[in-house]
A and B are shown apart, each in its own frame.
Chain A
Amino acid sequence: MTRKARSATAVAIGLGIALAATGCAGGNDSGSGGGSADGKVTLTVWENAQPGAGDVYWKNAAKAYHALHPNVTVKIQMIQNEDLDGKLQTALNANTAPDIFLQRGGGKMRAEVDAGQLQELNLTDTDKANAGAAAIGGYSIDGKVYAMPLDTQPEGIYYSKDLFKQAGISAPPTTMEELKADVAKLKKINVAPIAVGAKDAWPAAHWYYNFALRECSRNTLDTAAKELKFNDPCWTKAGDDLAAFLKVEPFQKGFLTSTSQQGAGSSAGLLANHKAGMELMGNWDPGVIKSLTKDQKPLPDLGWFPFPAVTGGQGDPSAIMAGLDGYSLSKKAPKQALEFLQWLVTKDQQEAYSKAFITLPVNKQAQEVVTDSYNVSTLQAFNKAPYSMMFLDTLYGQNVGNAMNTAVVNLLAGKGTAADIVKATNAAAAKG
């Protein structure tokens, strides 16, 4: 009996040691690599690419970098986009964060900086020329840079050229009045004029953001990011604009419970299958649409135009809203991690990146590889824009952003007013 118990204890202790050992190994695995005595360094990267071209790009980049710098091994970990934030937050708090990770920017980056979890990037003039001032500005707080941008995601309205032709629309609209007229024309050929995935809230809210971009001055938008107060009348005006636009019933039936990216019934799916004429979206949309067409090939008649001008607004009529993809370094990352990021924004890497993700690279020299007609239109509008604004829910942080998004959905459902958006946004600022 006792001997049995003793051997059982021994087994248990052994198991415990084994578990602890593997636990430790696991910790090191996902944690920052750091250097070792022989100068060999392993860098871990968390990225959010989908399986396919994007993931292949990262693996190739890691291989190519290792070939150039044999003492640096880059370990790429693909993490599902929706899982990334939660995993990353846990890892940052537990001090097991990867060396390099996707940075969403805005309020989230501010919280990470406040908690001392990010490294400031000391960029050279070459880096600044490569990445471009506008994009770097999006990842700066008080003049300090905390992430290296890789692509910009300008937003505008994607449309089906065929359906526009069928409806007798000769040129994409440039003002709200023209857009309203085109909505009426599209209804006549029995397609949903505009698709929106309001179940996800943000795609609906982007309509409000763009009205705010037109109604509010650049200064108002920037100041709100610092003070989180939304008392300027332009915020209410933007909501009124949206409410007025809703009067022409531009969105598909049942848009409140439609998602934006999943399945043929989603807003991107409706556009992909010629069931809807337009969709307001960032420039990841062509990739999503491609995955939802019947043959999973790019939609051949896809076009793009910037958000129409609004009369009497304080914002510049050609200003553009754009997201950013970039990468931050955790506080323990070795100096080789920065060198890897610097290498990623060089011309050749940016070209490969742009091709893999069908996106707009921040490096102007690499922008020649952009050939799709919708991306060319986007790039022209982006290069013409006097300034670009980050999506407001990113810029103002999840807390305020979420409240704004939900309030916009309420307005769309006829349950709230423009004033309610401002009220909900101000109230949310008090909670966080």
Chain B
Amino acid sequence: MSDTLGTDPATGRQSQGTPRVGGAAVAALPTSARAAARRRGRAKMRLEIALLSGPAIIMFLAFVIFPIALAAYYGFYRWHGYGPPTDWVGLNNYKLILTDPAFHEVLWHTGLVLVLSLVIQGPLAVVLALLLNQKIRGRSVIRVLIFAPYIISEVIVGTGWGLMLQSSGAVNDLLHHLGLGFLQAEWLSNSKLAIWTLMAIITWKYIGFAVILMLAGLQSIPDELFEAAQIDGASYWQIQRRITLPLLAPTIRIWAFLSIIGSLQLFDLVYIIWGPYVASTAGTSTMAIYMVAQGRNAGNYGYGSAIAVVMFLISLVVALIYQRFVLRRDLQGAVTEGANR
């Protein structure tokens, strides 16, 4: 907003809404003409705002708000997706979702993935970032290697791991040939093991992203602080504990936010490796898998839309709570600016 306001060099006042050029001329005009010019200027600014933000707003309304509204509308119908919906069922779909044991299961799985991602990836990423921030040989090679899984598409990762982890796949075969046959397992179809297999793949895939974020965070910490601490006689661990971690905290909080959102929306890896039918049996189904299985695959577009709304609300609430209580300091001056004024 403030970028569009110019400070009038001639008067030294902020000439709200008046373009910079001609500011001096405006100052020389009689009051009524000045007001008219200001009105014109204001209209011009409005036009400018409309022109610049219009396309984005239209896109946002058309592809974000409108589909959400439509999903909310369809969610009130029993509808198979052929012709317009006619069978109004009120809140029945929502009642069925909230009482469906399968939905409770996916909530549990999603929650587990969310928490485990934070607990496993967070500390691991910080440690790896600290390590890679040292001047060690082959540092850039290791960085690339850690980051590589992140840039491989989910479908390829899913297909690859899905094939390797089959009961007669490469992983079990390798274990056998290494003489570790006792470690062979049904990595994908054992319902006690499958969620941990999933966590291992998720960690392998997304740790690179976390490490890159942390590294960037580490590099933005001024060297002077470390030097000063060293001069004061702080040990390596004291420096990490008292300087690095507190200054890295904003980065960690943002990463955790991205991780949480990613966990809530987890779909593609599970869909590729287990598919929509076996995921619930193997204990790896997520909210999005439930939506696709019960909505699209079952042809219940009304019910599926209701699930989408529930998912949206859950994600929204989690995101808002996180922003309000955890990211408050980081976002000051951005999201919270309007409220503070």
Interface residues of chain A, those whose CB is within 8 Å of chain B, are 89, 92-93, 107-108, 111-112, 114-117, 198-201, 253-258, 265, 397-399, 402-403, 405-406, 409-410, 413, 415, 427-428, 430-432
Contacts and interface: CB of A to CB of B under 8 A. Distances in A.
Interface in B260-307: 273-275, 277-278, 280-282, 293-294, 297-300, 302-303
Given A89-B81, A254-B189, A432-B80, 7 more contacts: A201-B275, A257-B273, A265-B166, A398-B297, A406-B277, A409-B281, A431-B294
B163 A265 contact: yes
B86 to A, nearest CB: 9
A399 B81 contact: no
B191 interface: yes
B168 A254 contact: yes
A276 B80 CA distance: 39
15 contacts: A199-B275, A201-B277, A254-B189, A255-B189, A256-B282, A257-B282, A265-B163, A397-B299, A406-B277, A413-B281, A427-B100, A431-B96, A431-B294, A431-B298, A432-B78
A405 B293 CA distance: 11
Contacts of B162: 257
B186 A254 contact: yes
With a 10 A CB-CB cut-off, give which of A114, A397, A413, A415 has the most chain B CB atoms.
A413
A409 B189 CA distance: 11
B274 A199 contact: yes
A256 B80 contact: no
B300 A257 contact: no
Given A258-B166, A409-B281, A413-B191, A403 B298 contact: yes
A402 B168 CA distance: 28
Contacts of A256: 188-189, 278, 281-282
Interface of B: 78, 80-83, 93, 96, 100, 162-163, 166-169, 186, 188-189, 191, 273-275, 277-278, 280-282, 293-294, 297-300, 302-303
Given A200-B277, A254-B189, A115 B299 contact: no
B230 to A, nearest CB: 54
A402 B191 contact: no
B163 A415 contact: no
Contacts of A107: 299
A314 to B, nearest CB: 29
B278 A409 contact: yes
Contacts of B191: 413, 415
Contact of B281 (A115, A402, A406): A406
B188 A257 contact: yes
A415 B78 contact: no
